[in-house]
């Protein structure tokens, strides 16, 4: 039977570690502060933002909300970003994606001060990730590395297959695994014989955004499977990209959905906020 990699528990441990660190910073008069910008009233975005603010409150990060209408122009949003960039009391800036069609996401991401880019999406931080320089890393892949390390799953020398090549999950995931000395293959919709490639994996990261896409035919015996997908099947019923039941007898470890990768994404945002404060104070 597979070992369940408990993202809720691991994220809870990291949150408690952060709580202590933030309390110490507060004694020095330093309060990590995150500006959360939400444009429009998409219910999914509203829920994500609510969860992030709740997590901030738990560890002692101050969050400031900027909820602006979906008619906001790109220029107006750029002005707000400019103000937040210039505000020395704001350490991190998060613009919840997606944005309304009149706003170019790339322009907004590039306008955020890279030192405050706690999502790790700015091209400078992406470049730093590739070249191994310090910088912010996209929260979901960073959280997956923590899940593996804190579950004592060796990455060094392993054959890792990442299914998906998005800028926020697949690509940074592949680079992080490479940095951990894995042998990495990145797959996408043009990959020939995906099943055979995935079956090579000691560690398979499933991030194609398709419910129950990966069944036992995609995994080798004893593989570790990280399921990044999250799909709502019915109210309060979710599944991932992996058909968990079908692969359960074959894999050695797997992340559940929900309760696997999801909680790690939020906690890595908190880690990045504290790092942002320390970097801005020249202490990291």
Using rule CB under 6 A, residue 32 touches ligand NAP: no
Binding mask 240-279 vs ligand NAP (x if CB under 6 A, - otherwise)?
A: ---------------------xx--x--------------
Using rule CB under 6 A, residue 165 touches ligand NAP: yes
> Cβ 97 to ligand NAP, closest distance in Å?
10
Catalytic residue at 96? Answer: yes
Q: Which of the stretches 20-28, 48-56, 204-212, 272-280 binds ligand NAP when contact is defined by CB under 6 A?
A: 204-212
CA angle 106, 40, 142 (to 5 degrees): 50
Closest by CA position to 244, among listed 216, 202, 203, 283: 216
- Reduced to 3 states (helix: H, G, I; strand: E, B; else coil), residue 161 is strand
> Cβ 40 to ligand NAP, closest distance in Å?
19
Catalytic residue at 52? Answer: yes
Integer Cα distance of 93 and 114 in angstroms: 10
Query: Which residue has tokens 């994220």?
Result: 11
Query: Which residue has tokens 């939020």?
Result: 266
Using rule CB under 6 A, residue 170 touches ligand NAP: yes
Using rule CB under 6 A, residue 166 touches ligand NAP: yes
Binding ligand NAP (rule: CB under 6 A), the pick from 188, 195, 232, 283 is 188
Using rule CB under 6 A, residue 155 touches ligand NAP: no
What is the phi/psi pair of residue 242, to 5°? -105, 140
Binding mask 223-242 vs ligand NAP (x if CB under 6 A, - otherwise)?
A: -----xxx------------
> Cβ 227 to ligand NAP, closest distance in Å?
8
Q: What sign for the dihedral angle of Cα 158, 206, 39, 55? A: negative
Q: Which of the residues 52, 158, 171, 250 is marked catalytic?
A: 52
DSSP string, 16-35: HHHHHHHHHHHHTT---EEE
Catalytic residue at 119? Answer: yes
Using rule CB under 6 A, residue 209 touches ligand NAP: yes
Using rule CB under 6 A, residue 192 touches ligand NAP: no
Detail the DSSP E strand segments found in the chain: 3-4, 33-39, 62-68, 92-95, 159-163, 183-187, 203-206, 224-227, 231-234, 237-239, 253-254
> Cβ 210 to ligand NAP, closest distance in Å?
6
Contacts of residue 178, defined as CB under 8 A and 6 or more positions apart, other chains included, come to: 184
Q: Which of the residues 113, 117, 119, 227 is marked catalytic?
A: 119
What's the start-to-end Cα distance of the chain, in Å?
42
- Active-site positions? 52, 96, 119
Q: Which residues here bind ligand NAP, judged by CB under 6 A? A: 140, 163-166, 168-170, 187-191, 194, 207-210, 228-230, 261-262, 265
């Amino acid at each position: 039977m597979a070992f369940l990699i408990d993202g809720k528990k691991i994220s809870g441990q990291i949150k408690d570690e952060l709580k202590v660190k933030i309390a110490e910073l507060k004694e020095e008069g330093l309060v990590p502060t995150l500006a959360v910008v939400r444009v429009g009233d998409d219910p999914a975005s509203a829920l994500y933002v609510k969860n992030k603010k709740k997590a901030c409150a738990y560890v002692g990060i101050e969050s400031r909300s900027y909820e602006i209408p979906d008619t906001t122009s790109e220029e107006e949003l750029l002005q707000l970003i400019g103000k937040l960039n210039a505000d020395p009391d704001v350490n991190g800036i998060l613009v919840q994606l997606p944005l309304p069609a009149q706003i170019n996401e790339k322009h907004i991401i590039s306008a955020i001060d890279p030192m405050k880019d706690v999502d790790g999406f700015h091209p400078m931080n992406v470049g730093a990730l590739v070249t191994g320089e310090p910088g912010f890393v996209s929260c979901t892949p960073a959280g997956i590395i923590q899940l593996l390390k804190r579950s004592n799953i060796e990455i060094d020398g392993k054959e890792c297959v990442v299914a998906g090549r998005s800028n926020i999950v697949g690509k940074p995931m592949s680079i992080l695994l490479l940095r951990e000395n894995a042998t990495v293959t990145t797959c996408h919709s043009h990959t020939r014989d995906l099943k055979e490639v995935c079956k090579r994996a000691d560690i398979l990261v499933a991030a194609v955004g398709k419910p129950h896409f990966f069944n036992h035919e995609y995994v080798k015996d004893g593989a570790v499977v990280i399921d990044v997908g999250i799909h709502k099947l019915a109210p309060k019923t979710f599944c991932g990209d992996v058909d968990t039941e079908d692969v359960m007898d074959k894999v050695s470890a797997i992340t559940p959905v929900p309760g696997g990768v999801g909680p790690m994404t939020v906690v890595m945002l908190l880690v990045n906020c504290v790092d942002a404060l320390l970097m801005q104070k020249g202490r990291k």
